[in-house]
Amino acid sequence: MEEGQLRALIEQVRAGALSRRGFVQMMVGLGLTAPLAGQMLAGAGVAAAQTKVQYAPTKRGGGGALKILWWQSPTLLNPHFATGTKDQDGSRIFYEPLAAFDPDGNLVPILAAEIPSLQNGAVAKDGKSVTWKLKKNVVWHDGKPFTADDIVFNWEYAADPATAATTISSYKDIARIDKLDSHTVKLTFKNPTPFWSDGFCGYRGMIIPKHVFEAFKGAKSREAPANIKPVGTGPYKYVDFKPGDIVRGELNSTYHMPNRPHFDTIEMKGGGDAVSAGRAVVQTGEYDYAWNMQVEEEIMRRMEQGGRGKFETAPGGNIEHIQCNQTDPNKDVDGERSSIKAPHPFLTDPAVRQALSLLVDRASVQEEIYGRGGQATANFLNSPPKYVSKNNRWEFNVDKANQILDAAGWKRGADGIRAKGDKKLRMVYQTSINAPRQKTQAIVKQAAAKTGIELELKSVTASVFFSSDAANPDIYSRFSTDLQMYTTTQASPDPQTFMEQFASWEVSAKDNKYQGRNITRWRNDEYDKLFRAAETELDPVKRAALFIRMNDMVIQNVVVIPVIFRNKVQAVSSRLRGHEISGWDNDTANLFNWFRV
């Protein structure tokens, strides 16, 4: 889809011919993130429709206890140290960002008085600065006022490499933050920054108080008592925290939103497994909400029969995909396998990759394995077909794969396996140990066998597969096999970081201790140029068009084979309301709106 077509669509939204949500879904279908789509609309001056929240309670408190279950439990409550969603979700009970992302990717002001935009002049035309106005009358849990100083401090804290904050990438590109008055800050970026709502927004933007953490900036960051005893601005105040077990909070009587929160206490219990967490919500009603239900569809349906609760889904950005190695995993070049000096003997042949893509029966994978937990490459399926280029649709077609291989000169040998010269279509296909993945492997292997491709399946323990131990040949970033499969997360609201994993300078190699993110080692000059252009392109529509083209290149060249677009699945009590789960933010992002009927 070209820039012109995108502009036409935006005009349709403005004229009311296309719904805002429809537009966002279309963009997600093209491989963009919802926040980016929202930004395109905002840039064109289409007002963000304020999501109507059905919040019934008319007074603060009185809702009793809210009990939520996370089967992986938070281990620390400093959002700048969060190693995973669990820690961010736990921190979000107490801490808040300036703005949150709603399910459609719109920014919703939390600690900000309003959302900056080109129209209100808060976003600079050159993309080098943005001005945030903060809500007044917000106080920290200890009674101190929340001011612009806190914003400046969070930037200094997170951007300092000595602090070792996991949020550093959202803050290190801010050149300086000027405090214009006690409740206004101006962020100046080092380079023109098209996506300015990375720092201070969403799950990477939670703000910690300066007066509590000031003494613990940099090397002393670990010693802060508040790392496990949070003092925030959120709807609930800290009561107790046991790492790996439980987080407890009580109503914040000075919360900055009227009549909120509804519950008197909150308890986030951790540990156990997803299935029994689902049972505790949906079957016995012991708990009100459970996170990340990786449960088979059939089990979910059986649990729902009691009527005490149900499983809900929210599209997020997790894509289960198969990577095709562009380098030879069986040739050793200076002690390095899968080196870019040794191209893969046959996976560099587009015909073989095309055939492989046709052999992944995504419909069966979705129906039989993931159920409502995934959509067969929603990446291209979600949008109305007329907007999607024909080459980008997925298909499961063994005959067509056979034809492609025949045409490319791959002949079946006596053993039924195709070969060309001395090269045989025999591949090793690895993934981590996880029941749905092993089932998916089996489905692909079966189809491949029908076309004369022999797949040897390999599964590696997750803790080894995803480790960063460069000495271990089984880690995913070394990619010592022909094919491999795992889920990559696009949860960052902006696709730029996500798309960088196909840039040639990111190639994972021995020299960079396999820290590079380009695991397939695919290199393409045109792609690199598009990426460089997108980095500095300020027009959101032009930028989106660039990302769509990059996305198309990756798919049409079958660098990776997307399998399933995984949804966030959560178990919810049938009495819980107001929880509108956003795939682009934490599950607990709008906790202030939750209530029980």
Binding footprint of another protein on the chain (CB under 8 A): 65, 69, 75-76, 81, 83-84, 161, 164-166, 168-170, 204, 219, 222, 227-228, 240, 242-246, 248, 265, 267, 269-273, 276, 279-280, 283-284, 286-287, 461, 463-464, 466-469, 472, 477, 486, 488-489, 491-492, 497-498, 500-501, 515, 517
Give the nearest distance from C-beta 499 to another protein in angstroms.
10
Shortest distance, position 496 Cβ to another protein, whole Å: 10
Of 182 and 284, nearer to another protein (C-beta) is 284
Least separation in angstroms between CB 294 and another protein = 16
215 phi-psi bin (left φ>0, alpha ψ -120 to 50, beta other) = alpha
- Report the candidate in 8, 256, 320, 242 with the shortest Cα–Cα distance to residue 111: 256
H or E element at residue 266: strand 265-270
Q: Any idea what the Cα angle at residue 246 is, between residues 244 and 251, rounded to 5°?
A: 145
For the CB of residue 508, give the shortest distance to another protein in the complex, in Å: 10
3-state SS, residue 374: strand
C-alpha of 400 from chain center: 34
Q: Exposure of 406 by Cβ count < 10 A (0-12 exposed, 13-18 middle, 19+ buried)?
A: middle
307 or 385: whose CB is closer to another protein? 307
> Which of 446, 457, 428 has the alpha carbon at shortest distance from 359?
446
Least gap, CB of 545 to another protein (angstroms): 22
| Whole-number Å distance between alpha carbons of 338 and 209 | 47
The nearest distance, CB 79 to another protein, in angstroms, is 13
| Least distance in angstroms from the C-beta of 7 to another protein | 30
Helix (H, G, I), strand (E, B) or coil at 157: helix
Nearer to another protein, 464 or 576 (CB): 464
We find the least distance from the C-beta atom of residue 463 to another protein, in angstroms, to be 5
Nearer to another protein, 280 or 541 (CB): 280
| Cβ closest to another protein, residue 160 vs residue 528 | 160
Beta carbon nearer to another protein, 497 or 536:
497
Q: Which two tokens stand for residue 111?
A: 């600690």
How many CA atoms, within 13 angstroms, populate the side-chain half-sphere of residue 6? 26
CB nearer to another protein: give 418 or 478.
478
Comparing CB distances to another protein, the nearer of 147 and 166 is 166
- Which of residues 19 and 497 has its CB atom nearest to another protein in the complex? 497
Comparison of 26 and 293: residue with beta carbon closer to another protein: 293
568 with 582: CB under 8 angstroms? no
Distances (CA, A) of 109 to 60, 311, 453, 583: 20, 28, 53, 17
Inter-residue contact 442 to 457 (CB < 8 Å): yes
Q: How far is the CB of 120 from another protein (least distance, A)?
A: 28
In the complex, minimum distance from the CB of residue 506 to another protein, in angstroms, rounded to a whole number: 10
Least separation in angstroms between CB 287 and another protein: 7
Q: Is the peptide bond before 261 cis (omega within 30 degrees of 0)?
A: yes
- C-alpha dihedral over 381, 387, 391, 395, to 10 degrees? 20
Q: Nearest 10 degrees: CA dihedral of 371, 294, 68, 135?
A: -80
247 Cβ partners below 8 Å, 6+ apart?
Answer: 73, 74, 77, 90, 93, 240, 241, 266, 267, 268, 270
Place of tokens 């987080």: 247
Residue 551 CA to residue 426 CA, distance in Å, equals 28
The encoded tokens of residue 597 equal 């009927």
CB of 283 vs another protein, minimal distance in Å = 6
Which of residues 285 and 345 has its CB atom nearest to another protein in the complex? 285
Distance CA 110, CA 577 (A): 20
Task: Provide the minimum distance between the beta carbon of 231 and another protein in the complex, in angstroms, as a whole number.
Answer: 17
Q: What is the spatial distance between Cα 176 and Cα 410, in angstroms, rounded to a whole number?
A: 59
- By beta-carbon proximity to another protein, the closer residue of 481 and 593 is 481
For another protein, the closer of residues 172 and 542 by Cβ is 172
